[in-house]
Amino acid sequence: MSASQADPVPETKKSGSVLDERSKFMLGRVLTYGILVLAVVLIVFPMYWMISISLKLPREIYRTPSLWPQVFTLENYRILIADKGFLRPILNSLLVSTVVTVISVLISSFAAYSMVRFRYRFKGVIGRIILFAYLTPTSLLFIPLSILMARLQLGNSLHGLILVYLTFSLPLSTWLLQGYFRGVPRELEEQGMIDGLSRLGALLRIVLPLSAPGIAAVSIFTFTGAWNELLLALVLVTSETERTAPLALNYLITSDVLPWGPLMAGAVISSVPLMVLYFIAQHFMVQGLTAGSVKG
């Protein structure tokens, strides 16, 4: 770690024993890569295990476990989708996450724009409420929310789920979008308004397009948040047809027989699209990630 800030170029320029500096530098490199490769192996192994179990026959999972599948099979995926009906939960998850993302990003961008561009009474208070809401954990809200949803006749429905997911997605997207909008120069908007755009026009035609990378990042974070949610779904959804993907997998492990193969097939189906998305979009996602902005 000590060599971490050493820039190799000034290092060699320095006076003193060149060979000594050089071998020290090489040793630092070997150690650096050694540790990083070890870390990558520890990170990748569980993912490898998830994929390999999903491709194994039951006898290879339980009786003669091995690191590499002897026979590759898609049987687990067939069981999961045909027998356990996993397509429905995946579609439910897609629907809920998409609707939550569209609603949140739309109305949060209005709120964030308002708070970044204008000065008015209560702005400080509103900002604080949004931050408090962002940090209020679901574990504190799931009991009252379930009572509230029952009262609104929205329990056990995807509509209800969409509504309660706004509890975490709205504060998150408003908070993040404020950061992005602050980066859009006010002069561009003023120029647009001189050219005849209204305030709303300036927001829709200038601010939003210029914040496109930010909006994409916020959309991915919001979508992920809804896609991953388990506790509220567990409390609110009772019927099998309304289950989301995490909920369906949760019920796979609470049954008596633990079907590891189909379970890991479900894990692969639920995670690979998101991980590919992160991999592609990581540049602007990491860019927009200010300290502690997104739930880890």
Partner 1 sequence: MSEVQETQPQRPGMTWLNAHRRIQIFAYILVTPVVLLILGLVAYPFLFAIYVAFTDRVIGSVGNWIGFANFQYLFQTATFSSAIWNTITIVVVTDVFKLLIGLGLALLVNQNIPGRGLLRSLLILPWAMPAFVAFLTWRVLYQPIGGGLNLILTQTGIYPHVIDWLGQRQTAMPSVILASIWRGFPFWFISILAALQSIPKDLYEAARVDGANAWERFWMVTFPGIKQVVIITTLLSSIWTANAFEHVWLLTQGGPSDATMVFPVLAYFGMQTQRIGEAAAVSVAMLPVLAILVIVATSLMQKDED
Question: Does 294 participate in binding partner 1 (rule CB under 8 A)?
Answer: yes
Residue from 80, 115, 217, 236 that binds partner 1 (CB under 8 A)?
Answer: 115
Question: Does 57 participate in binding partner 1 (rule CB under 8 A)?
Answer: no
Residue from 79, 99, 107, 154 that binds partner 1 (CB under 8 A)?
Answer: 107
Residue type, position 26, single letter = M
Residue closer to partner 1, measured from CB, 85 or 251: 251
Q: How far is the CB of 45 from partner 1 (least distance, A)?
A: 7
Q: How far is the CB of 213 from partner 1 (least distance, A)?
A: 16
107: tokens are 């109305």
Q: Could you give the angle at the alpha carbon of 155 between the alpha carbons of 227 and 264, nearest 5°?
A: 35
Question: Does 71 participate in binding partner 1 (rule CB under 8 A)?
Answer: no
Which region, judged by CB under 8 A, interacts with partner 1, from 41-49, 73-81, 154-162, 204-212? 41-49
Q: How far is the CB of 82 from partner 1 (least distance, A)?
A: 21
Q: Nearest-CA neighbor of 191 among 214, 210, 212? A: 210
Q: Return d(Cα 296, Cα 289) in angstroms, integer.
A: 11
Residue from 53, 100, 176, 184 that binds partner 1 (CB under 8 A)?
Answer: 53
Q: Return d(Cα 290, Cα 288) in angstroms, integer.
A: 6
250-256 contact pairs (CB < 8 A, 24+):
252/84
Q: Nearest-CA neighbor of 233 among 256, 251, 253, 259? A: 251
* DSSP string for residues in 163-218: HHHHHHHHHHHHHHHHHHHHTS-HHHHHHHHHTT--HHHHIIIIIHHHTHHHHHHH
Q: Of 242-261, which residues contact partner 1 (CB under 8 A)? A: 246, 249-250, 253, 260
Residue from 94, 126, 197, 216 that binds partner 1 (CB under 8 A)?
Answer: 126
Residue from 172, 184, 218, 264 that binds partner 1 (CB under 8 A)?
Answer: 264
DSSP, res 52? H
> Which 3-state string (H, E, C) describes 132-151?
HHHHCCHHHHHHHHHHHHHH
Residue closer to partner 1, measured from CB, 233 or 242: 233
Applying CB under 8 A, what is the total number of residues that bind partner 1? 109
Question: Binding mask 148-167 vs partner 1 (x if CB under 8 A, - otherwise)?
Answer: x--------------xx-xx
Residue closer to partner 1, measured from CB, 219 or 228: 228
Residue closer to partner 1, measured from CB, 79 or 166: 166
Q: How far is the CB of 295 from partner 1 (least distance, A)?
A: 6
Residue from 133, 154, 197, 210 that binds partner 1 (CB under 8 A)?
Answer: 133
Question: Does 185 participate in binding partner 1 (rule CB under 8 A)?
Answer: no
Question: Binding mask 204-233 vs partner 1 (x if CB under 8 A, - otherwise)?
Answer: --------------------x--xx-xx--
Q: Are 206 and 138 in contact (CB under 8 A)?
A: no
Buried/exposed code over 273-285 (b: 16+ C-beta within 10 A; e: otherwise): eeeeeeeeeeeeb
Q: Return d(Cα 46, Cα 55) in angstroms, integer.
A: 14
